A and B are shown apart, each in its own frame.
Chain A
Amino acid sequence: MASLNIRAAILSISFLILALGLWEMATQPPEAQTGMTEYEMLMGGADQESRVPPPSAVIKLAWAELSNPFYDAGANDKGIGIQLAYSVYRVLTGYLAAMAIALPVGFLIGMSPLMYKALNPYIQLLRPISPLAWMPLALFIIQDSDASAIFVIFICSIWPMLLNTAFGVANVRQDWVNVARTHELGPLRTAITVILPAAAPTILTGMRISIGIAWLVIVAAEMLVGGTGIGYYVWNEWNNLDLASVIFSILMIGVVGMLLDLALGKAQKLVEYKE
């Protein structure tokens, strides 16, 4: 009997083939138009009736795009790699800025009940605001679409990190804090050598949630601000009615999101400990 992994892999591939097969069949052009050129098929058929492209068309396009992902032929024609790089750059910039604020402030809130009580109302008020609601204000104040997108990422990824850091720090086992106290560690050394490693798994969980949200939000933000990035790319291809490109970029958004999550998952493994 094959191992669970092998059986799961076989099943996964069968599902994929089944789904692609159904998709391919459902998107066959009508009989009468078998004489169409490939270009016409890509464009949804000569009959002007827009149709979802079949997977074969998407795969063909993916092959072409991925074999030259970084070409740059003007403002509205850049390779998928360049567009994704723009998005990843914005996400990471906003994310790191959020981290730089969320971790120290989270520590402060977690260690001081006074600060927790003082800041909690603001956090509770600001947290449920959709990050995109900040966009007009950001555009007005910052006067720069790129920086505004980064700001939106900053504001949406700060909350899970902040709250998880505060929660992790506040719930470090008193026994471990007592170990630090009986060894006369100062506040800074206690924070670094005891509280940080003890709270690290919780903090990393928050960071993982944040990166997921940031990647969700960047697509919408770039659709709004335009110019570059994968979100803009999707919207642009939709305006061109190039649905194969739209589907392809949706898949690429998924792939990059998965990779970001995987990276944070690896980091999470590194700081995990068993009691």
Chain B
Amino acid sequence: MSKSFLEVDGLCKVYPDGQGGELTVFEDIRFALEKGEFVCIIGHSGCGKSTILNVLAGLDEASAGNVVMNGKEIKGPGLERGVVFQNYSLLPWKTTLNNIVFAVRARWPGWSKEKVKEHSERYLKMVGLDHAMNRKPSQLSGGMRQRVSIARAFATQPELLLLDEPFGALDALTRGVIQDELVKIWEETRQTVFMITHDVDEAILLSDRIFLMSNGPNARIAESVKVDIPHPRARATIFQNPAYHKTRDYLVDFLVNRSGSALPKRDGSPKFIEPAKGVAQSKPASAESETESESDTAARAVNA
């Protein structure tokens, strides 16, 4: 059996339910990530996504099961795993630049001051914030703060990036802009990313695979859905791809109708689904031209 980059085996989290009993939030979570994959996880609120992510980050402990990365079991947090928190978690007494310097210095203690600064500035530039270098987080908008937080995570070049609803608190417009930025940075770095989101479109735009979680308690990762759309993707044009609609319909159907009852495979690993199978990417002749004309008509109808 070939080992994957990250292997999650039988994770389970139990809390006391407050009445003397126990509440199993999720159980027997099994999945694997390959190097360079971008994977999103979607599920209804409270099913335990953040808890899973925190276990991967080493900030929380599972009640049972284990996580192995690069053949080593994860125990506690580490610099090879970067985390972008939902509330940005910038240190408010440090400037934008120094927040990143803080992380870079922790990652490479041997680096000279100049090298640390130069490296940090490069990543700030990547998210378009080099002009706000010397401002404090309180002087930035929510979107800008989240960009700093993303720059901080990417700057330490972790082997695995963990993002917990990074855009959850942003308005749709800002979210779109930062999604584009994330796509751009990811195309450059091809880091392995595990991200929580509630936004189906966001998941399709960003990920190679999407994990679908059933509802808690006793939640499972029931399905692993392949997003068969070639990179690089762009928010403005992804709608034209027929695979996009198939995948989107599949995800929405799961969340609306099946998340209560869905189960993984017998062995506990998620069912592998290819909703866009048959919508061939390689021969765009029939399928794509058809939908293209469809969306053209739709566009004309809107303009009229």
State the A residues within 8 Å of B (CB).
175-176, 178-179, 181-185, 193-194, 197-198, 200, 271, 273-275
Which B17-61 residues sit within 8 Å CB-CB of chain A?
A: 57-59
Neighbour of A184 across the interface among B78, B87, B93, CB < 8 A: B78
**B159 shortest CB reach to chain A, Å:** 13
Report the tally of A-B residue pairs with Cβ distances under 8 A: 54
* Given A182-B77, A182-B83, A273-B136, also A197-B103 (CB < 8 A): no
Bound CA–CA A176/B91 (angstroms): 7
The answer to whether the Cβ of B102 comes within 8 Å of any Cβ in the partner chain is yes
Q: Assess whether B82 is in contact with A182, with CB atoms less than 8 Å apart.
A: yes
Please indicate the chain A residues that have their CB under 8 angstroms from the CB of B91 in the complex.
176, 179, 194, 197-198
The chain A residue sitting closest to B107, CB to CB, is A183
- Against A, the Cβ 8 Å flags (1 = close, 0 = not) of B274-303 are 000000000000000000000000000000
Q: Assess whether B79 is in contact with A175, with CB atoms less than 8 Å apart.
A: no
Q: Assess whether B59 is in contact with A183, with CB atoms less than 8 Å apart.
A: no
Please indicate the chain A residues that have their CB under 8 angstroms from the CB of B232 in the complex.
none
Bound CA–CA A92/B106 (angstroms): 38
Please indicate the chain B residues that have their CB under 8 angstroms from the CB of A185 in the complex.
106
Q: Assess whether A175 is in contact with B138, with CB atoms less than 8 Å apart.
A: no
Q: Assuming A181-B76, A184-B79, what are 4 further A-B pairs, CB within 8 angstroms?
A: A182-B77, A185-B106, A274-B92, A275-B138
- Against A, the Cβ 8 Å flags (1 = close, 0 = not) of B131-162 are 00000101000000000000000001000000
Neighbour of B102 across the interface among A184, A193, A198, CB < 8 A: A193
Interface size class for chain B?
A: 20 to 34
Please indicate the chain B residues that have their CB under 8 angstroms from the CB of A179 in the complex.
85, 89, 91
Q: Assess whether B89 is in contact with A274, with CB atoms less than 8 Å apart.
A: no
Bound CA–CA A193/B109 (angstroms): 15
Please indicate the chain B residues that have their CB under 8 angstroms from the CB of A200 in the complex.
93
Bound CA–CA A41/B288 (angstroms): 108
Can you list 9 A-B contacts (CB < 8 A)? A175-B89, A178-B89, A179-B85, A181-B76, A182-B57, A182-B79, A183-B107, A184-B106, A193-B102
**A193 shortest CB reach to chain B, Å:** 7
The answer to whether the Cβ of B226 comes within 8 Å of any Cβ in the partner chain is no
Please indicate the chain B residues that have their CB under 8 angstroms from the CB of A176 in the complex.
89, 91
- Against A, the Cβ 8 Å flags (1 = close, 0 = not) of B85-121 are 1010101110000000011001100000000000000
Please indicate the chain A residues that have their CB under 8 angstroms from the CB of B102 in the complex.
183, 193
**A164 shortest CB reach to chain B, Å:** 18
Bound CA–CA A197/B106 (angstroms): 17
Bound CA–CA A271/B93 (angstroms): 8
Please indicate the chain B residues that have their CB under 8 angstroms from the CB of A194 in the complex.
91
The answer to whether the Cβ of B81 comes within 8 Å of any Cβ in the partner chain is yes
Please indicate the chain A residues that have their CB under 8 angstroms from the CB of B136 in the complex.
273-274
